[in-house]
Amino acid sequence: MKNFILTAEGVNKTFDGFKAISDLNFYMDEGELRTVIGPNGAGKTTFLDLITGRSKPDAGTIQFGRESTELTKLNEYQIYRLGIGRKFQTPTVYVDHTVFENILLSMEGSRGVFSALFARVTPAQRERIHDILKTVGLGEKIDAKAGSLAHGQKQWLEIGMLLAQNAKLLLVDEPAAGMTDEETAKTGELLLSLAGRHSIIVIEHDMVFVRQIAKKVTVLHQGTILCEGSVDEVQNNERVIEVYLGRKHHHN
């Protein structure tokens, strides 16, 4: 039996009469790496807002995990505690703290910033921090101030912070934005390496990047799913081509 990590059904969200999300149905398997694409204003970020409890849908259900926990009834903090981590487009790291401290501060069970920084770090915690930094490719930056990292490195640190938080579902909004080609490729490898053990939704515009990471792609348009499939399938889909190129059908 397949386990869905996320099930969204009949989801609607209106802002001042404008339907940002419209009858959205979305199903994602546990361990899946799903890429969501779609033109500007398609509702991609709004969808993440609804998952994380940043905003509430007008209608519909969003369920998470094996217990099918209804997310629309929970607040942002409760959803975060369930194991849903979000990476915003702009990295939000503690710039005046070291890479090590950033991971420590994100670790589950940390008792607030002050005690986390001044309590003794256990050997187990230290080992876990090292593992996470190795995973995200920042092992050599462990003592560097987060503020001194390059843009791409900050993004990887933030992904490391999601791992430290024990997120089962990672929501990653446009990670390649502002990255060099090399950073983008490394980010793709990282996300691919995390899939399976984690479920990941990546929102992305950069089709080179999408091609590198994508297994199943969901195309969002006007708040609803236009099509789903492999990169080739969606790129060859008539409706997708129409939406992206604005091509009109000729009716005789």
**41 and 223 Cβ atoms separated by less than 8 Å:** no
Among Mg ion, ligand ADP, none, residue 40 binds (CB under 5-8 Å by kind)? ligand ADP
Radius of gyration of the chain (CA): 19
Pick the binder of ligand ADP from 5, 8, 24, 46 (CB under 6 A).
46
- Residue 19 tokens read as 């339907």
Among Mg ion, ligand ADP, none, residue 15 binds (CB under 5-8 Å by kind)? ligand ADP
Measure Cα distances from 147 to 23, 42, 96, 107, 153 in Å. 42, 33, 6, 20, 10
* Binding flag, residue 20, ligand ADP (CB under 6 A): yes
Shortest Å distance, C-beta 36 to ligand ADP: 9
Residue 42 or residue 133: which is nearer to Mg ion going by CB?
42
Chain residues 129-158 in contact with ligand ADP, contact rule CB under 6 A: none
| Rounded-to-integer distance, Cα 244 and Cα 186, Å | 27
Pick the binder of Mg ion from 7, 12, 22, 45 (CB under 5 A).
45
| Rounded-to-integer distance, Cα 243 and Cα 39, Å | 8
Which residue do the tokens 């487009």 mark? 89
Site string for ligand ADP, 24-43 (x = CB under 6 A): --------------x-xxxx
Window of 11-19, 39-47, 116-124, 184-192 that interacts with Mg ion by CB under 5 A: 39-47
* Binding flag, residue 55, Mg ion (CB under 5 A): no
What's the burial of 197, exposed, middle or buried (CB within 10 Å: 0-12/13-18/19+)? Answer: exposed
* Binding flag, residue 45, ligand ADP (CB under 6 A): yes
Residues at the site binding ligand ADP, with contacts judged by CB under 6 A: 15, 20, 38, 40-46
